[in-house]
Chains A and B, each alone.
Chain A
Amino acid sequence: LVFTEEDTYGLYSNLLFKYFLAEGVVCGHDLFVASAKEHPDNILKELPAPLLDDTYRNELGEEGTAVKSEDFQDSMKIAWRYQNLPKMEASPTSSTKFGHYYDISKRMSPELFQSIKRHSFYLHEESSLEPKMKACNMNSAYARLLQSIQRIIYQEGFDGSDPQKKQKTILRIGIQSLGSLLWGDDICSSDTPEDIHSLTKFLYVLRGLLRKSLSACIITVPAHLIQNKAIMERVTNLSDMVVGLESFIGSERETNPLYKDYHGLVHVHQIPRLNSLICDVSDTKDLAFRLKRKLFTIE
């Protein structure tokens, strides 16, 4: 359960959200997109186009690029044993290709979507019938969303309950701006919200659904609007991974010469520690992001 604290205007977190979904399309996963703000079909129309192998190396520009050993045309005569080793990289991180790269100045073409099963939940188009599940005093929009997710997981066989439907792919769930007023929750608009437990109850049930199925979920939340910090502490404990994006727009950091090449900071508040005593902590803790014309990079 990946939890992203949105930057002030939601610009960059939206980008991260779309990257997550785009990666799902390229990997052939099923998608479930939920929003109370934009229609999911519109969100999907704006996914970035994936960069295929040749083009991405050009896009990375003057930074050291990795030359994959298969492309190494010249053959070595004496040191032929070394021929199959990768060349030394100037920037080692660019050679460990995990996932795909995208060009955000281009839209993903509709052909790539053809074989992908897409499910959506757009709050304002959902029927307002009371959900069949026990709502547990939860905000009804959240309850309906949970019902919808559970139904898809069950019907499409992601929970392995139906031996006939052997699911070979995973379900990528993206939920946009949870907790905002559009979801009917007042934690972002009031110092003393009526119901401080709805969001955390929702997350607990969602966590249960994710644990028992082949799915992964990213949620963005306008954390900067939540006055009651206790809620954010609880949300963090209920999530596996928590990342916060802080943009420099309108802040005093915008003019700080230290940050002149960047658009904002990335705060990794929590990383998953699953099935192991140890977790995968990286050496670098101070991360910043920058949005170029074609690439969004975190350094």
Chain B
Amino acid sequence: QGKFTLLRDTRTDGSFLVHHFLSFYLRAGCKVCFVALLQSFSHYNIVAQKLGVSLTAAKERGQLVFLEGLKSCLDLVFGEEEEQPGQPSPLQFLSESTSDLKALFDFVRTSLTPNGSDSWKGPVLLVDDLSVLLSVGAAPVAVLDFIHYCRAAVCSQLKGNIVVLVHSNEDSEDEENELVVNSLCHHSDLILWVEGLATGFCKDVHGQIKIIKRVSLQLTAEPDLIQIYQYKIQDKNVTFFARGLSAAVL
């Protein structure tokens, strides 16, 4: 509880981890606020069903609060006149008026603050993916502030967890993104770093995952614990195995 997990992908698509955490936390009975910036609700719903969870049902019983970024953006850009003052769009920063992500944070906090009748276990914030915020004009500092406020509210106050996906390329020239990613790495309790194989695409091994437990943050003079596995993604499942031991080789 109270943990910040960073999902990071390089040279490949780490979204399978997002699907995993989404269905994992819903099955565990947690209240989930999912900030989905890049894909539609139905995309996640279809995959979640293969993993045994219905997002529609979770939404209806109030367990899942789903922010469909693309839709919110359209509502903001093409919508009718000003929203009522008490209800700004979570993506308010897209319009010219503000440059901070306060509206987005308020949305997250409101979604996860328990009301009297809730009986969910622990709140969870899931973000897919943070790098998009930079692409649409948010400053790196604003993004880091947003995460900081979320940590304070969700991890510290509400004893919940946060899982965030970011992209990073090797030799990336996107300095703003690298800044955000590096900063988040320093403050994460757990980093799941998914990378495409250096040798190129392979049918049986889709990539490698580095699991970094940030033990060093606990100030006990122990180094971080690093484990590396390879993986293969299938239609309803992902299999993990030790390096060099994929089923195709054995």
The answer, yes or no, to whether A76 is at the interface (CB within 8 Å) is: no
Instruction: Provide the residues of chain A in CB contact with B40, threshold 8 Å.
Output: 211-212
Contact between B94 and A136, CB atoms less than 8 A apart: yes
Cα distance A264–B53 when bound, in Å?
Answer: 46
Cα distance A146–B235 in the bound complex, in angstroms: 36
Total residue contacts A-B, CB cutoff 8 A: 105
Known A150-B78, A277-B236: A285·B200 in contact at CB below 8 Å: yes
Interface status of A291 (Cβ within 8 A of chain B): no
Q: Is A276 an interface residue (CB 8 A)?
A: yes
List the one stretch of B13-21, B24-32, B111-119, B241-249 in contact with chain A.
B13-21
CB-contact partner of A201 in B19, B137, B201, under 8 A: B137
In the complex where A133-B78, A277-B19 touch, is A200 in contact with B176 (Cβ < 8 A)?
no
Whether, in the assembled complex, B76 has its beta carbon less than 8 Å from a beta carbon of chain A, the answer is: yes
**B172, A278: Cβ atoms closer than 8 Å:** no
CB contacts (< 8 Å) of B38 on chain A: these are 207, 237-238
Q: B78 and A277: CB pair below 8 A? A: no
Contacts of B233 in A (CB 8 A): 277-278
Q: Is the CB of B95 within 8 A of A211?
A: no
Q: How far is the CA of A136 from the CA of B135 in the complex (A)?
A: 13
User: Which range holds the interface residue count of chain B?
Assistant: 35 or more
Q: Which residues in window 56-89 of B have CB below 8 A to A?
A: 70-71, 73-74, 76-78
What separation, in Å, do the CA atoms of A274 and B47 have in the docked complex? 9
Residues of the B chain whose Cβ atoms lie less than 8 Å from the Cβ of A205: 73-74, 77
A230 at the interface (CB under 8 A from B): yes
CB-CB under 8 A for A274 and B173, given A197-B135, A205-B73, A237-B132: no
14 A-B interface contacts by CB (under 8 A)? A204-B70, A204-B73, A207-B38, A208-B74, A212-B40, A228-B173, A230-B173, A233-B169, A233-B174, A234-B131, A234-B174, A237-B167, A273-B15, A285-B201
CB under 8 Å from chain A, chain B span 130-154 = 131-132, 134-137
Residues in B with CB closer than 8 Å to A277 are 16, 19, 47, 50, 233-236, 238
B199 at the interface (CB under 8 A from A): no
**Does A258 have its Cβ within 8 Å of any Cβ on chain B?**
no
Residues of A within 8 A of B235 (CB): 276-278
B173–chain A nearest beta-carbon distance, Å: 4
Using Cβ atoms and an 8 Å threshold, which residues of chain A touch B167?
Answer: 237
Q: Are A233 and B172 in contact (CB under 8 A)?
A: yes
Write the nearest CB–CB distance from B51 to chain A, whole angstroms: 8
Give Cα A225 to B133, complex, Å: 25
A272-285 CB mask vs B (1 if < 8 Å, else 0) is 01111111010101
Tell me, in angstroms, the Cα distance from A281 to B233 when the chains sit together. Answer: 12
Residues of A within 8 A of B71 (CB): 208, 212
The residue on B at minimum CB distance from A283 is B203
**B222 beta carbon closer than 8 Å to chain A:** no
CB distance from B248 to the nearest CB of A (A): 14
For chain A, the bracket of interface size reads 20 to 34
Q: Does B46 count as interface, using CB distance less than 8 angstroms? A: yes
Give CA–CA (A276, B50) in the complex, Å. 9
Closest residue of chain B to A136 (Cβ to Cβ) is B94
B186 at the interface (CB under 8 A from A): no
Would B94 and A275 count as touching, CB distance under 8 A? no
Asked if B177 CB lies within 8 Å of chain A CBs, one says yes
Given known A-B contacts A200-B136, A234-B134, A229 and B173 have beta carbons under 8 A apart? yes
- B203 CB to closest chain A CB (Å) equals 7
The reply to whether the CB of A134 lies closer than 8 angstroms to some CB of chain B is: yes
B43 touches A274 (CB 8 A): yes
Q: Given the interface contacts A230-B172, A230-B175, A273-B15, does A136 sit within 8 Å of B43 by beta carbon?
A: no
**A49 close to B (CB within 8 Å):** no
Residues of B within 8 A of A137 (CB): 96, 137
| Chain A residues with CB under 8 A of B42 | 275
Q: Tell me if A288 is interfacial: C-beta within 8 Å of chain B.
A: no
Q: A201, B94: Cβ atoms under 8 Å? A: yes
- Among B15, B42, B73, the one with the most A-chain Cβ atoms within 10 Å of its Cβ is B73
B96: A residues at CB distance < 8 A: 134-137
**Interchain CA distance A285-B42 in the complex, whole Å:** 30
Alpha-carbon distance A50/B233, docked complex (angstroms):
39
A275-B73 Cα distance, complex, nearest whole Å: 21
Complex Cα distance A134/B167, Å?
29
- Chain B residues in 8 Å Cβ range of A150: 78
- Chain A, residues 169-202, CB within 8 Å of chain B (1/0): the string is 0000000000000000000000000000100110
Q: Which of A228-251 contact B (CB under 8 A)?
A: 228-230, 233-234, 237-238
